Amino acid sequence: MKPTAVDPKSTTRAAAFDLWMSAPNPMVTFFKTLDVTPLVRYSRRRGLKFNMLMCWCVGKAASGIKEFYLLPVGHELLKYDTIAVNTIVKNRTGEVSSCDVPFSDSLARFNADYLLLTREAAESCADHDLTDSMVIGTSAIIDTEIDGAVGMNSGIFNNPFII
Q: What is the DSSP string of 84-106?
A: EEEEEEE-TTSSEEEEEEE--S-
Is position 142 within any domain?
Answer: no
pTM of the predicted protein model: 0.81
Residues 6+ apart with CB under 8 A from 146: 163
Is position 157 within any domain?
Answer: no
| Tens-digit pLDDT profile for residues 20-42 | 777 766 565 556 778 889 999 99
Is position 20 within any domain?
Answer: yes
Count of domains observed in the chain: 1
99 vs 87: CA distance, rounded Å: 5
Backbone angles phi and psi of 48, in degrees to 5? -105, 150
Regions of the chain where pLDDT drops below 50: none
Angle, vertex CA 36, rays to CA 30 and CA 39, nearest 5? 130
25 lies in which domain range? 4-137
Is position 9 within any domain?
Answer: yes
Is position 144 within any domain?
Answer: no
pLDDT at 54: 92
pLDDT at 145: 57
Is position 145 within any domain?
Answer: no
Neighbours of 96 (CB within 10 A): 18
Is position 160 within any domain?
Answer: no
Mean pLDDT of the chain: 85
Tell me the CATH number at 16.
Answer: 3.30.559.10
Is position 159 within any domain?
Answer: no
